[in-house]
Amino acid sequence: MNNKLKQLDEQAVQYIAVGAAVLGTGGGGDPHIGKLMALEAIRKYGPVRVLSPEELADDDLVIPLSMIGAPTVMNEKIPSVQQMAMPLDLIEKELGRKVTAIMPIEVGGGNSLVPVLAAAERGIPILDADAMGRAFPESQMVTFYLDGIDCSPITMADERGNGVLMHAIDGIWEERMARAITIQMGGSASICDYPVSGAQAKQSAIPHTLSLAYDIGKTLFESKDSKQNPIEALLEQLHGYALFQGKAVDIRRRTEGGFTKGEAVFEGTDAYRDRMMRLFFQNEFLLATEEGKSLAVTPDLISLLDQDTGMPITTENLKYGARVVAVGFPCDPKWRAPKGLDTVGPQYFGYDVPYVPIEELAGGKGEKL
Amino acid sequence: MNNKLKQLDEQAVQYIAVGAAVLGTGGGGDPHIGKLMALEAIRKYGPVRVLSPEELADDDLVIPLSMIGAPTVMNEKIPSVQQMAMPLDLIEKELGRKVTAIMPIEVGGGNSLVPVLAAAERGIPILDADAMGRAFPESQMVTFYLDGIDCSPITMADERGNGVLMHAIDGIWEERMARAITIQMGGSASICDYPVSGAQAKQSAIPHTLSLAYDIGKTLFESKDSKQNPIEALLEQLHGYALFQGKAVDIRRRTEGGFTKGEAVFEGTDAYRDRMMRLFFQNEFLLATEEGKSLAVTPDLISLLDQDTGMPITTENLKYGARVVAVGFPCDPKWRAPKGLDTVGPQYFGYDVPYVPIEELAGGKGEKL
């Protein structure tokens, strides 16, 4: 990884939108929309300072700000600065103090950049960290939950001016209530949850994921202009594995219970000719299989990249006939501990396969493209 | 009507549980459970002072407190003092001031008495008024909504300790969000909404409905010991009409979307032999018909009374074979204005009949039993 990011300017937003969509494993919001929103905010209010977790004082107040809901809906209801400001206003009022830094709750083309709107408008920094190290569909799927940190108070808003504040007894109850409210709010909402102290952020968040997203985006953009294959460059950078290469021949996608759920089938091309991969998703890509055998399993990261440019493809924007490379990366070790696997392992999502680390599935090496 | 109630003691709770169930038109919560809860609170904390709306100062703060959800569920999840206190605590904190009086949002065997728990525990009065003059199933079905009063802030709690505060842009959005939260909370929840000033309560609430419920209950209890038929005594007292007399031969009841919905069929007895009445409900009895002709239509009040004792029967407790008299009463005039009928008229509930005042349907006089 390169030096840590110090501020988010227009160039950094371009890189992060793409890099975060790779780590967002198909979810975490649309990178194009995240980029447009963040660019508009930066043009209006100026660049946003990036704070590294080590720079936090123990009693600082860090508040995650994100969009919750089905990506299908978020592509059509683009949040405004006002909608992002309302949950922050509500939570600051409830806590009786001002926020030190805003942080992304997850890595994703949308949710890595959504905090930029509020940070730019208020002139406060954004934290170079998140609580997943990737994207996941449900609100309790955060390192803060694994570490027993209180999720409350939780605040939410829609684009009309409806606002909600909740005290949930745990992250599971937050998810139930917040999801029900999100559905009523039309399928997407802005949300602040797990307000943490500087000490908690340093102990529990996954650090430097904005910097990592920036580096990934930079690699993909720069490889355009060099002779290196962008996907190879990326796999090298992230110690990842190529899982499959092919084209999308069947995509089933439905919006259900506030999620975008479904599966896609890919027919192999090139070295993968005569082979088929199935990819299962709930907002994020969660399981890749070939002939019933797992290629990669949640919580390890699965991303789809455009075969030519290496640009990431979200669950929502995957189109019939798309030529892709599926890649996999190891998740943060926190997710591989028992509570991590209970929370985000394949059984939780209803997939009847065991979790096997991607390093084992890939036999210790990635297949060559 | 007799003199106004001055305090709620055990005797008053007995009367109100029954009288409010008559005005609650089958809904508004179970009178037996409401009574047990209120009696326990009064035994522990002493009688509760009753405040008449005229006694309010214009800048007093009056907060309605009730249970929201399906009666089917509320009969099994009896709320505690703690569950009733939480929404009050949350709304007082949000408004930054203490409540002057708690009021019932509707008249019903449960919801007329639910405020007694919190009033007794805090030693504050309960207002002799409500915002429906009967019971209705949805939260925007209140005179406050007709009069354009802001429903927010709204606070809710479940029995586990989950609490919610909402700022809804209008009563319709409150209903959507509060109902979704109620379902997640297991089908019933405690709620404060439409916090009003003393001036607003005097202008918009329906006054003296606790006193009215008390009087009705007293009439029914006392007629037990006299020679007068209790139902005739009641109809005389309320200027009401007997609609039908018969026994329940078919009851279809389902819990759907946080409501108890369904219909019941009655076979005529005595003077009504060889006739049939259908009764449609959503938490409350909303429409009574005979051979496709309306006998009484929401928002006018329809109640079922036990043929022998005159005791009211809720939608939830109606049993196959029950021998009943169906009675009807005119609603408060506010409900008969255009916005009232838009909000609670038969079309709103999906019944394809026009609203005709019960005085016209009954031809100016009640049929004799």
Query: Is the minimum CB–CB distance between B251 and chain A shorter than 8 Å?
Result: no
pLDDT 10s digits, B54-91: 999 999 999 999 999 876 666 667 788 889 999 999 99
- Rounded to a whole number of angstroms, the distance from the CA of B169 to the nearest CA of chain A is 6
Strand, coil or helix: B117: helix
Query: Is the minimum CB–CB distance between B162 and chain A shorter than 8 Å?
Result: yes
Mean local confidence (pLDDT), A194-209: 98
Contact B162 A181 (CB under 8 A): no
Q: Are B16 and B217 in contact (CB under 8 A)?
A: yes
CATH class belonging to B7-209: alpha beta
Q: Give B206's strand partners.
A: B130
Q: Chain A residues with CB inside 8 Å of B165's CB?
A: 164-166
- Residue-wise DSSP of B218-260: HHHHHHHHSSS-HHHHHHHHHT-EEEEEEEEEEEEEEEETTEE
Q: Is the predicted pLDDT of residue A334 greater than 50, yes or no? A: yes
Which alpha helices (H) appear in chain B, and where do they start and end?
Answer: 10-23, 31-45, 71-74, 81-95, 114-122, 143-146, 171-184, 198-204, 209-225, 230-238, 338-344, 358-361
Note the pLDDT of residue A368: 44
Strand, coil or helix: B183: helix
Q: Is the predicted pLDDT of residue B182 greater than 90, yes or no? A: yes
What's the mean pLDDT when you consider all of chain A? 92
Query: Is the minimum CB–CB distance between A68 and chain B shorter than 8 Å?
Result: no
In this structure, of A239-253, A300-314, B248-262, B272-286, the range with the lowest mean pLDDT score is B248-262
Measured CA to CA, the distance from residue A165 to residue A90 in angstroms comes to: 7
Tell me the ipTM for this assembly: 0.78
Peptide bond into B87 cis (omega under 30): no
Query: Is the minimum CB–CB distance between A331 and chain B shorter than 8 Å?
Result: no
Strand, coil or helix: B55: helix
Query: Is the minimum CB–CB distance between A95 and chain B shorter than 8 Å?
Result: no
From the list A161, A177, A185, which residue is nearest B184 (CB)? A177
Contact A160 B166 (CB under 8 A): no
Which of B293, B281, B277 is CA-nearest to residue B252?
B281
What's the mean pLDDT when you consider all of chain B? 92
Peptide bond into B153 cis (omega under 30): yes
In this structure, of A95-99, A364-368, B189-193, the range with the lowest mean pLDDT score is A364-368
Note the pLDDT of residue A366: 46
Q: Look up the CATH superfamily of B231-361.
A: CV3147-like (2.40.390.10)
Q: If one looks up domain A241-349 in CATH, what number appears?
A: 2.40.390.10
CA distances from B292 to A41, B261, B354, B359, B365 (A): 62, 20, 12, 18, 21
Q: Is the predicted pLDDT of residue B367 greater than 80, yes or no? A: no
Q: Are B318 and B309 in contact (CB under 8 A)?
A: no
Note the pLDDT of residue A74: 65
Q: Chain A residues with CB inside 8 Å of B90's CB?
A: 167
Q: Is the predicted pLDDT of residue A252 greater than 60, yes or no? A: yes
**Sheet of strand A241-256, all strands in order from the earlier edge strand to the far edge:** A293-297, A284-290, A276-282, A259-268, A241-256, A323-329, A301-306, A312-313
DSSP code for B75: T
Measured CA to CA, the distance from residue B268 to residue B139 in angstroms comes to: 35
Which of A107, A328, A62, A56 is CA-nearest to residue A209?
A107
Mean local confidence (pLDDT), B282-288: 94
Q: Is the predicted pLDDT of residue B354 greater than 60, yes or no? A: yes
- Residue-wise DSSP of B271-285: GGTT-EEEEEEESEE
- Rounded to a whole number of angstroms, the distance from the CA of A206 to the nearest CA of chain B is 28
Query: Is the minimum CB–CB distance between B164 and chain A shorter than 8 Å?
Result: yes
Quote the radius of gyration of chain B (alpha carbons, Å): 19
Q: Are A90 and A16 in contact (CB under 8 A)?
A: no
From the list A164, A169, A180, which residue is nearest B183 (CB)? A180
pLDDT 10s digits, A204-233: 999 999 999 999 999 999 987 777 889 999
From the list A164, A169, A180, which residue is nearest B161 (CB)? A169
Q: Other CB atoms closer than 10 Å to residue A309's CB: what's the count?
A: 14
Note the pLDDT of residue B358: 96
Note the pLDDT of residue B368: 44
Q: Are A323 and A307 in contact (CB under 8 A)?
A: yes
- Rounded to a whole number of angstroms, the distance from the CA of A172 to the nearest CA of chain B is 11
pLDDT-derived band at B366 (thresholds 50, 70, 90) equals very low
Q: Which residue has the tokens 């730019």?
A: A120
Q: Is the predicted pLDDT of residue B22 greater than 70, yes or no? A: yes
What are the residue boundaries of the structural domains of chain B, listed by start? 7-209, 231-361
Note the pLDDT of residue A80: 82
Note the pLDDT of residue B256: 80
Mean local confidence (pLDDT), A11-15: 96
Topology alike, domains A7-209 and A241-349:
no
pLDDT 10s digits, B96-153: 999 999 999 999 989 999 999 999 999 999 999 999 999 999 999 999 999 999 999 9
Note the pLDDT of residue A28: 86
Q: How many residues does chain A have?
A: 369
Contact B160 A173 (CB under 8 A): yes
Strand, coil or helix: B348: coil
Mean local confidence (pLDDT), A270-276: 95
Classify residue B273 by burial, with Cβ atoms within 10 Å: 0-12, 13-18, 19+: exposed
pLDDT 10s digits, B201-212: 999 999 999 999
In this structure, of A48-57, A225-234, B283-292, B307-316, the range with the lowest mean pLDDT score is A225-234
- Rounded to a whole number of angstroms, the distance from the CA of A167 to the nearest CA of chain B is 5
Please give the single-letter amino acid code of residue A212: L
Q: Chain B residues with CB inside 8 Å of A90's CB?
A: 167
Q: Chain B residues with CB inside 8 Å of A258's CB?
A: none
pLDDT 10s digits, A28-87: 888 888 899 999 999 999 999 999 999 999 999 999 999 998 766 666 677 888 899 999
Contact A181 B181 (CB under 8 A): yes
pLDDT-derived band at B286 (thresholds 50, 70, 90) equals very high
Q: Is the predicted pLDDT of residue A7 greater than 90, yes or no? A: yes
- Rounded to a whole number of angstroms, the distance from the CA of A163 to the nearest CA of chain B is 5
Q: Is the predicted pLDDT of residue B298 greater than 50, yes or no? A: yes
Q: Is the predicted pLDDT of residue B255 greater than 90, yes or no? A: no
Query: Is the minimum CB–CB distance between A166 and chain B shorter than 8 Å?
Result: yes
Q: How many residues does chain B have?
A: 369
pLDDT-derived band at B31 (thresholds 50, 70, 90) equals confident
Measured CA to CA, the distance from residue A15 to residue A2 in angstroms comes to: 14
Which of B106, B109, B113 is CA-nearest to residue B26?
B109
Measured CA to CA, the distance from residue A184 to residue B164 in angstroms comes to: 15
